[in-house]
Structure 1
Amino acid sequence: MRVIRTIKELREALEYMRAGGHTPIGFVPTMGYLHEGHASLVRRAAEASGTVVMSIFVNPLQFGPGEDYATYPRDERRDLELAEREGADIVFIPSVEEMYPQAVKTTVSVSSLTERLCGASRPGHFDGVATVVSKLFNIVQPDLAFFGLKDAQQVAVLRRMVSDLNMNVQIVACPIMRESDGLALSSRNVYLSAEERSQALVLSRSLRAVRKALEEGTVHTAEEARAMLMSGIRESQLAVIDYAEILTYPDLEPIAGEQALLSVPGEMIMALAVKFGTTRLIDNNVFTAKEVRVLV
């Protein structure tokens, strides 16, 4: 496994890999502090690709004022051990100066999809995500790019960016990875105290409860489902709800409160963002009305 820190060296290495027939190129962008969720993306990329590139870059553009950019967890040595163990061929670890050598005057913005859920709570966040991913796609020029569905809104935004800008890359969405007790894996879980972590289980528990109620026919409408989500989360005394929404997916359009969810064509998403102490966690289920089954 090669560790590369400059754009020039990475492009040269990938040119050599392509010339040697080590294609397709699979790409796993990350912000580091890797966990089993990231490991699953690398494994998926290794199965589908001739060369696996992982990037580790904590992108300042996607953090707002007062967010945790400076304190975001970092552990390069541990990250490299995981990347090599899981099959990465190249790990790209650029500095902020390498990625942004001058003040950024060109950004990428995806409208509509970024105005709800995390986009409403974190203005400018998805502009930062779209901009850095666009830069990384231009640098790596991957055939396949692998993202976890824990941030299903991010997947929807990036797929629309790729489609609208005719980027020659396929976004591969991979399942949410969870701890054995149901907590969705996140680099930010390290911030949780023992009590906060215990109470954070209310997120996956609430999502499962609404799904079961839909299956059993005790909940029918979007309004009923959202009320049940909110009620479930509020069982935790430490939970501070940012949002609990049910929308169409991937368009992220509102569903009328009185509309029966089982009459909605295509996919829907139940999405949550909740703070425990200073830690903001997200979770979701994407499902279809036809079978009322979880897809992720």
Structure 2
Amino acid sequence: MWTGILYALAAGLMWGLVFVSPLLLPDYPAALQSVGRYLAFGLIALPLAWMDRHALRQLGRADWIEALKLAAIGNLLYYLCLASAIQRAGAPLPTMIIGTLPVVIAICANLRNARRDGRLPWAWLAPSLLLIVAGIACVNRAELMAMERQATVDVARYVQGALLACGAVACWTWYPLRNADWLRHHTDRRPRTWATAQGLATLPLALAGYALLWIVMGTRNQPFAMPFGPHPLRFIGLMAAIGLFASWLGTLCWNAASQRLPTALAGQLIVFETLAALGYAFALRGQAPGPLTLAGIALLVTGVMWAVRIRPRPVEVLAEG
């Protein structure tokens, strides 16, 4: 279990990087950042696929269809919603909404996968969930107060950002549940192979999306400087870094965690992504978090530490009790 938790921590540290990119590229459309990131992911997966070619040949048609679904919804659509939300509402609101993922996934997994993984008893799980929710509320209350002091909020864009962030939550509630289903039913397959397969499945989708965006942007009155925009070196560097660390390596670590942990517990460990995103955001601002933010972080960590002490129990045992 502790190996799985360390893998989940590593995935969260790398996934936190995706919250920084939209802030560093504010004049780049969210759709371009999404297809750019996953085009880089797909290209990185090509040499890795050659190294894993024997294992990849063992994947059947149904496996590749599943990888394509996971790539379309858990990769492209999720990041399109997230980047759009950050650009419209700033980082605090999307971070708050995405931060509910540990709670949403834990509840869905406990309802959906109890017979396979065992059930985390609700009475034991509730304190952890409440601590995580309270921590997220504290952190984001502090962020929203700071944003209100700095500038006037555009209500329409703020609401759009909230809705898009909810869309991102829906995508990434579906993704880890389906991804865990495949991994738990294919325990003989390596997480690295499955991460590479998702990268290969993402590549044609990202290429098609990039080509479509190039055509659409070329028809505008003020065309965007395609293919790499006004800051090509920054764009290419960020997409390559996020494609390697957040997409391929982050997916590899998450797959390894998903094979070792109950889905309900793994879902809560996505809180590491929220903590990493906050840490990177404060480092980018060059300032330390305030007391309310620190209190929220402490609640988040306490909630996670509470959760990892809980062991799943078979459904039959719970029924007899």
Give the TM-score band, short-chain normalised: under 0.3
Comparing both structures, which one devotes a greater share of its residues to strand? 1
Structure with greater contact order relative to length (CA < 8 Å, sep ≥ 6):
2
| TM-score for the superposition, normalised by structure 1 | 0.23
- Structure 2 length normalisation: TM-score? 0.22
**Could you say which structure has the higher helix fraction?**
2
